[in-house]
Amino acid sequence: MPRINEHYLNLKASYLFAEIKRRTQAFREAHPEARIITLGIGDVTLPLSPAVVGALEEAAREQARAETLKGYGPYVGYEWLRADIAAHDFGVRGVSVAVDEIFVSDGGKSDSANIQEIFATDCVVALMDPVYPVYADSNVMAGRSGPADESERYAGFVYLPCTADNGFLPALPAGHVDLIYLCYPNNPTGAVMTREALARWVEYARAHDAIILYDAAYEAYIRDPEIPHSIYEIEGAREVAIESRSFSKNAGFTGLRLAYTVVPKEARGQTRGGKTLGLNELWLRRVSTKSNGPPYVVQKAAAAVYTPDGQKQVRALVDHYMESARIIREGLRAAGFTVYGGSNAPYIWLRTPAGLSSWDFFDRLLAEAHVVGMPGSGFGPSGEGYFRLTAFGSRAETEDAIDRIRTRLRP
Ligand code: MLT
């Protein structure tokens, strides 16, 4: 019998979102009459925009004819899509990203789980706390964490607490770390990072030869013109930052699957013997071996997002979800909750009522309002006492959920 990767034994029994699904299903079976509203996982509810659907249909028709059939595509994504990304997501902000620095993939989740593979297993990882669980779990699987203690903290990670006390902006690590995961606009707290704060991280990374893994999946939700959309807006970031973006939350591709990661040519790592190597080269080698690129039809759909119609339609989707965020934020405030986020991000982060842990509040919300949310402690120890709601639910259900919380569950 082969030996297993025992680092898996250091993981929590189940992935956070799977656990939420399991508990929701158990409640549904016990209370078949309950009309449950899910504002837990950040999954979109609005249909794909007409520009995207048109491109999907056209691409499907191309696949139906031998003359236009596309087989294997480039490992890293088609050049026409990468050129659109470079121009529309970066060029318009005065940021220069070359086409061969862009790697198109099947999702931000896969990219953020996989990127750690090109780094040594003894790299010291710094994680925001609370954090999107994929960053932590993928590093646990790779053996960088060791076992968790009773408060579910891993001795091998450096935690960067993000609480109301620091405005959900972590302090720089006290010592040296190699890899730093930052996500802004933040999942789960809905916070954003100012240009000055981000510049301090870039400065830290440069001083410590660290690499920042910057997850900008929620960039489209930034409303404040002072907030940077890309880490590459900060001088010196190209040497020390890898940035990922996704089509899931702006264009509603959670079901289609498409994302990309930028690995600048200047970003480098070294061998134990001190030889330096480009991370772009390493990631290219990894992607060429493990992927044949996302489906052609999905890449065509993504390119449609950058057409004038696509841009307008996608903007309307984001505006719609931002209005839902406002409804949740203001509704909860009116009901007496302390609420954060939801102004430049599709997540609302609230304090649980006094004396209730995050999971207690999850249970109470489900039992009394039949509303599913995300317990803050599921995202990390510093999330205890907080709770996350998503603005991606349908408008009618969102309004209904807030109404139920207001009438059945005052803090
Ligand atoms: C979330 O709810 O945090 C995200 O939707 C999960 C994901 O993107 O995988």
Q: What is the pLDDT of residues 297-349, one digit of tens each?
A: 999 999 999 999 999 999 999 999 999 999 999 999 999 999 999 999 999 99
Atom of ligand 1 nearest to the CA of 248: 8
Radius of gyration of the chain (CA): 21
Give the per-residue pLDDT at 12: 87
Task: Find the 43 Cα to ligand 1 centroid distance in Å.
Answer: 7
Task: Find the 278 Cα to ligand 1 centroid distance in Å.
Answer: 30
Distance between CA atoms of 295 and 10, rounded to whole angstroms? 34
Would you say the CB of residue 42 lies under 6 angstroms from ligand 1? yes
Give the per-residue pLDDT at 106: 97
Give the per-residue pLDDT at 346: 98
Give the per-residue pLDDT at 410: 62
Distance between CA atoms of 196 and 23, rounded to whole angstroms? 41
Would you say the CB of residue 113 lies under 6 angstroms from ligand 1? no
Distance between CA atoms of 194 and 198, rounded to whole angstroms? 6
Strands 276-278 and 211-215: unpaired
Q: Decide: 390 and 42 in contact? Cβ < 8 Å.
A: yes
Evaluated on CA atoms 85, 109, 180, 119, the torsion sign reads negative
Helical axes 308-334 vs 50-63, angle rounded to 10°: 130
Q: Decide: 271 and 277 in contact? Cβ < 8 Å.
A: yes
Distance between CA atoms of 108 and 116, rounded to whole angstroms? 13
Q: Quote the tokens at residue 331.
A: 């509704």
Would you say the CB of residue 249 lies under 6 angstroms from ligand 1? no
Annotate 31-89 with DSSP letters as a single string.
-TT---EE-SS----SPPPHHHHHHHHHHHHHHTSTTT---S--TT--HHHHHHHIIII
Would you say the CB of residue 331 lies under 6 angstroms from ligand 1? no
Task: Find the 40 Cα to ligand 1 centroid distance in Å.
Answer: 9
Task: Find the 385 Cα to ligand 1 centroid distance in Å.
Answer: 20
Name the residue of 39, 138, 181, 187 to mutate for ligand 1: max ligand atoms within 8 A of Cβ: 187
Neighbour count for residue 69 (Cβ, 10 Å) = 10
Strands 211-215 and 241-246: parallel
Give the per-residue pLDDT at 213: 98
Would you say the CB of residue 41 lies under 6 angstroms from ligand 1? yes
Distance between CA atoms of 268 and 284, rounded to whole angstroms? 13
Task: Find the 41 Cα to ligand 1 centroid distance in Å.
Answer: 6
Q: Measuring from atom 1 of ligand 1, which residue has the nearest CA? A: 42
Residues of the chain with pLDDT under 70: 410-411
Q: What is the pTM of this model?
A: 0.96
- Whole-Å CA distances, 302 to 26, 81, 215, 245, 367: 37, 7, 19, 12, 40
Atom of ligand 1 nearest to the CA of 40: 2
Give the per-residue pLDDT at 411: 63
Peptide bond before residue 130 is cis, with ω within 30 degrees of 0: yes
φ, ψ for residue 222, nearest 5 deg: -70, 125
